[in-house]
Amino acid sequence: MITNPILPGFNPDPSILCVDGEFYIATSTFEWFPGIALYHSYDLEHWELVGHALVDEQHVDLSRLPSAKGVWAPSLTYNDQEKQFYLAYSLMYSHNARYFDLDNFVVTSPLITGPWSKPVFLHSVGFDPSFLHDEDGKSYVVCLQWELRNGDGRPDSIVMQEYDCGERVLVGELCEIWKGGTKRGCLEGPHLYKHKGYYYLLTAEGGTGYGHSVTVARSKSVWGPYEGAPNNPLLSAAKDFDESDNAEYLKPQRFNPDSPLQKTGHASLVQVTKDYWYVAFLCSRPFVPELRSTLGRESSLERVYWTGDGWLMLGNNQKIPRLEIESPPIHTKKTVLHSLPDCGTTWFRESLPAHFITPRYPLHRFASLSERPGFLRLSGKQSLCSLDVVAFVARRMQSLSVVISTQVEFNPDDWRESAGLVIYHDHMNYRFLRITYDQEQNKPVLMITCLANGVREEHRWVELKNAIPIRLALVVQERALRFYWTEGPGKPLYEEQGWQQYKESFDTSELSDEFSEYGEFTGTFVGMACEDFKMHQKSADFAWFDYQQGSLG
């Protein structure tokens, strides 16, 4: 059985692909660097993060972008004539006044692991570009067109243009091909496929909140006209509704308590065998009744089949997806080295595992694995609130209950210097267990900084006799967040007793899209940080980082 979500934690907008019997998914990364997460599987059940497509800061500029801007909705396709992977994506800079200022690009590579080409500019008419490589050798780009002429900016229609793969340029006219299959509005996320003489267009409607859905249209000609499926929407956690409410993207009134997964939409299609087809789609698992999704938007699978009249239907003959679905009849002896989530202790050697990423800027701007071999050295930069260079290395939180530990050596001598352990949703919502300096007491202290939509609270914990080394830990058990610390080198929290626990617990649900006023679309991260907003020189050395799924004890 396949258990959903297949890519837990912050992994939205899945674009799935099968090449030579192996499966790949690309997901959005927004302001996080490197850009576009790439996953690989042999069986659709076990997935490994094999890297990222946008690894050169000269090729993707995320500098000073607010949370939830950056790289949106990658579309992964394969050009069989060229033997090349194609990745199209949007780089979103702003949607101030609903203008949605962005550029669309494509990169290519013969291997999923790269190296990927320098990005080629496509256009800026709207977001979510996607390729179709047709049997006759022609290629096409579909995307959402953003409408600005009639009142507020809004999603308008799906448009298409031919693409010359040899010259790497769009050719011909940009043509409108589809207006949507429901009245839910917020048409987006197009993917175009060809099957048994028809061109099938999968789109998302209803917005990426609780009204999200997947719709289908088809045409005998790639240019249309397209007709909507009689059973639209194909997939949606929300109960049927037939009205547009674009003004508020979350749409909490569309929450359906009967669905185990929420916000389900933005799907892509893959054929496994002659009779086994699946759609990958984004989803979330919110706390109820708060409707706060701490893990963000995740990726799941549902089986689909073709009806006698050539339309798609969910494998359970309903619209609501399931937590468990049947695996395809694949017999392979190949296995991956690491299945998700990647748990255990990371010892800092010559390189970091792929699941460690950084906000906006690459690691070399503030970190080193060679200055002190065996340690990750972070050189303090600006505060975690900054949109500029922040010394913060993190990984996705992929379970509602986790135990995180690290060992750090840090010797501050100014109150502007801090280092420690962070749980983070965006630059205005995080919790920071930090070693810093008390100027009046003339000694290091342990503090907890809590930022909730930009409102900061400081919790003074304990005066430290010796700040070298100490171990820090945090435990998330669904809604509750607790912090721990202990002196000296040693083992992670889950392996050892005697750690001191802070008296208060904190509300994890505040680290969510639904709570945040400054960043949506992402998810919660855990990691290590160092601040020095005096001289940007003070460094912290981290010996290891431990991630365990499940509760403490």
- Three-class secondary structure of residue 215 per DSSP: strand
If residue 178 lies in a helix (H) or strand (E), which one and from where to where? strand 169-178
How is residue 367 annotated by DSSP?
E
The neighbouring-strand residues paired with 270 are 278
CB neighbours of residue 453 within 10 Å: 12
Asked if residue 382 lies in contact with residue 388, where contact means CB atoms within 8 angstroms, the answer is: yes
* Euclidean distance between CA atoms 254 and 146, whole angstroms: 24
Using CA atoms, how far residue 233 sits from 135, 182, 238, 241, in Å, is 28, 7, 10, 10
48: left (phi over 0), alpha (psi -120 to 50) or beta: beta
Residue 188 annotated to the active site: yes
Out of 13, 48, 514, 520, pick the active-site residue. 13
Asked if residue 127 lies in contact with residue 208, where contact means CB atoms within 8 angstroms, the answer is: no
Out of 43, 48, 188, 520, pick the active-site residue. 188
* Total residues belonging to the chain: 553
CB-based contacts of 289, cutoff 8 Å, min separation 6:
none
CB-based contacts of 467, cutoff 8 Å, min separation 6:
409, 410, 411, 412, 435, 444
- Three-class secondary structure of residue 425 per DSSP: strand
* Euclidean distance between CA atoms 312 and 302, whole angstroms: 12
Nearest Cα residue to 259 out of 285, 289, 278: 285
Q: Which residues are catalytic?
A: 13, 188
